[in-house]
Amino acid sequence: MTKFNRRNFLKAGSSAGFLAGTGALGALTSGQAFAADTSGYKAMVAIFLKGGMDHADTVLPYDQSSYSLLRSARGNLFNSYAAQGNSRERSGMLALSPLNSNNLNGQQFALPPEMPGMKSMFDDGELAILGNVGPLIEPINRTTLAEKTAIAPPRLFSHNDQQSSWMALATEGEKIGWAGRFADIIAASDSSLDPTFLSISAGANDVFLSGSDVYPFATTPYGAPSIEIVRDKKWLGHNQSMDEARSNIEAYLRSGSFSETNIYERDFTNLVQAAIEKNRAFNTAIESSLSMTSAFPNSGLGKQLEAVAAAINIRSSLSTNRQIFYVTMGGFDTHNNQTSTLPAKHTEISEAISSFRTAMINIGAWNDVTLFTMSDFGRTTIDNGDGTDHGWGAHHFIAGGAVDGQKIYGDIPPADLSSDVFTEHRGRLIPTTSVEQYAATLGSWFGLEESELGRALPNLENFSNKNIGFLAGNNA
């Protein structure tokens, strides 16, 4: 195995974490020829589940032996569920019939009953599950972790650092996300492509979408906000004698003449100017397109996915063949009350994604859109009474018309906590698939070449399998 990045990691140290400093990647696109495939239209939609979703309470073991193992490892939670009904009894769960069941060592799996939409997408071959994925620098297990013969990612179990590790392959402070790197490469590969709306957030302003050259845009289901004092005549009065003032105000806000010697003032001014220009262009595209008719649930995730759908609906007006979207959902840090809070989250996820699927089918984009989940980490297999604590590896969903679905990729180890895939204490899963392998599979579908993936994902070369295969036509 090549240890290029491992050496750099040891040498550079400090907060760089996964990366050998950002210098090399900061200059990722300068002086490099890129030739990513930007033909046709493709969009990635990332859903970040903030707080660390409990993987073991989301993709559950179904065969009696694995089910019993988990149930005995976290009896408090199962007892609490049992007091509410049968949602975590085998009889109450939505059993899955994966096409690759022959490769699953006799294990069977189920989704919680709150996720019927996800179950039906799985059955239709539009949803795949990736088991035990998480931040990794190189392959590692309990023994090599304890003996320090393999490098573990820094600041495990810390929310902000593991969020950053998922989004940007380094602990908090990293400025460029892997989606931002993908966007930089796409923009550098196709000069006819306008990067203004290449990366779009309908959620938080997180590092995931930030590139060196491409910066994210933010939107809502109703488009981007415009300057009301200019647009809405009630502010200054309807009398046309106020029109000159209105245009002067707009000119003032767009002019940027109010920044000079202070670095933050210059930044602030540029942010205001960029916001006004981009919002105006985006809203013009919305106004000149047919509106979308699909309904979305009135939930946080539903509204954000509606914003994504609205942007994809006007894709032909935005002069970009590739788009990366980012949405977030919070409340997964279930240290307590897990059995009363997590099921509602499952419902929200399932309903929002199902609605998104319908909207994409309605506008003919479902085969071009791949939606996938991320989260800070998984959680401890052993409970703390009424919840679970911070873990590491976790299971995730990938959905879309291009997904080679109804399959379970990666590993979902049974809860035999003596196994090498769990940490010594409390049964934290040690990932067997890295975030970078996950990202590479998405990036390959998105059109990036292997060398480009290697540059964006610095530890990918430490893993032999660079395409997990969950996107059709990209089986390694």
Partner 1 sequence: MRPVSHGRHTMLGAIIAAGCLLSGCSDGEINSSNLNTTRSGANTPSANIKLTLIEDNAEAQRFLAKATFGPTMEDIDALSRRDASEWIRQQFTVKPSPYLPRILSLEAAGENIDYRKHSGLIWEDMITRDDQLRQRMTFALSQMIVVSDKEMYGYTPQYAYYLDTLQAHAFGNYRDLLEEITYAPAMAKYLTYFRNLKEDPTTGRMPDENYARELLQLFTIGLVELNMDGTPKLANGREIETFSNDDIQGLARVFTGITLKGVDFWKGDDDGTYSRMVTSAEWHSPGEKAFLGTVIPANTGPDETLTHALDTIFAHPNLAPFVSKQLIQRFTASDPDPAYVERVATAFETGLFTAPSGIQFGTGERGDLKATLSAILLDQSVHVENGEAPSGDGKVREPILKFVNTLRAFNASPVSADSEYWLDDTSGGFDSLAQHPMRSHSVFNFYRPGFIAPGTESGDAGKTAPEFQIVHTGTVVGYLNFSGHYIFDISPTRDQTENLIPDYRDEIALAETPAELVARLDLLLTGNTLTESARAEVVSTIESIPLRDGFEDDDRERRVQVGVFLITSSSAFAVQK
Q: Is 298 in the site for partner 1 (CB under 8 A)?
A: no
Cα separation of the two ends of the chain: 19
- In the bound complex, what is the minimum distance in angstroms from residue 380's beta carbon to partner 1? 8
Q: What is the rounded distance in angstroms from the CA atom of residue 460 to the CA atom of residue 304? A: 31
Q: Given candidates 45, 129, 156, 439, which one binds partner 1 under the rule CB under 8 A?
A: 156
Q: Is 220 in the site for partner 1 (CB under 8 A)?
A: yes
Q: Is 234 in the site for partner 1 (CB under 8 A)?
A: yes
Q: How is residue 101 annotated by DSSP?
A: G
- In the bound complex, what is the minimum distance in angstroms from residue 390's beta carbon to partner 1? 7
- In the bound complex, what is the minimum distance in angstroms from residue 341's beta carbon to partner 1? 11
- In the bound complex, what is the minimum distance in angstroms from residue 422's beta carbon to partner 1? 13
Q: Is 236 in the site for partner 1 (CB under 8 A)?
A: yes
In the chain, DSSP finds a helix count (H) and a strand count (E) of 15, 12
Q: Given candidates 101, 158, 294, 319, which one binds partner 1 under the rule CB under 8 A?
A: 158
**Contacts with partner 1 in 8-37 (CB under 8 A)?**
11-15
Q: Is 279 in the site for partner 1 (CB under 8 A)?
A: yes
Q: Is 275 in the site for partner 1 (CB under 8 A)?
A: yes
- In the bound complex, what is the minimum distance in angstroms from residue 124's beta carbon to partner 1? 34
Q: Which DSSP helix (H) or strand (E) runs through 203?
A: none
Helices (H), 288-426: 300-313, 338-362
Q: Given candidates 359, 382, 457, 468, which one binds partner 1 under the rule CB under 8 A?
A: 382
Q: Is 269 in the site for partner 1 (CB under 8 A)?
A: yes
The residue among 330, 335, 294 whose CA lies nearest residue 312 is: 294
What secondary structure does DSSP assign to 242-253, as a single string?
Answer: GHHHHHHHHHHH
**Contacts with partner 1 in 403-432 (CB under 8 A)?**
425-426
Q: Is 387 in the site for partner 1 (CB under 8 A)?
A: yes
Q: Is 274 in the site for partner 1 (CB under 8 A)?
A: yes
Q: Is 271 in the site for partner 1 (CB under 8 A)?
A: yes
**Contacts with partner 1 in 43-72 (CB under 8 A)?**
50-51
Nearest 5°: the CA angle 337, 339, 343 is: 120
Q: Given candidates 104, 249, 367, 419, which one binds partner 1 under the rule CB under 8 A?
A: 249
Q: How many CB atoms lie within 10 A of CB 138?
A: 20
Q: Burial letters for 31-58: b for 16+ Cβ neighbours within 10 Å, e otherwise? A: eeebebbbeebbbbbbbbbbbbbbbbbb
Give the tokens for residue 462: 């430490």
Q: Are 455 and 468 in contact (CB under 8 A)?
A: no
Q: Are 314 and 268 in contact (CB under 8 A)?
A: no
**Contacts with partner 1 in 311-340 (CB under 8 A)?**
330, 333, 335-336
Of the two residues 353 and 382, which places its CB atom closer to partner 1 in the complex? Answer: 382
Of the two residues 357 and 390, which places its CB atom closer to partner 1 in the complex? Answer: 390
Q: Is 142 in the site for partner 1 (CB under 8 A)?
A: no
The residue among 455, 345, 397 whose CA lies nearest residue 45 is: 397
Q: Is 147 in the site for partner 1 (CB under 8 A)?
A: no
Q: Is 4 in the site for partner 1 (CB under 8 A)?
A: no
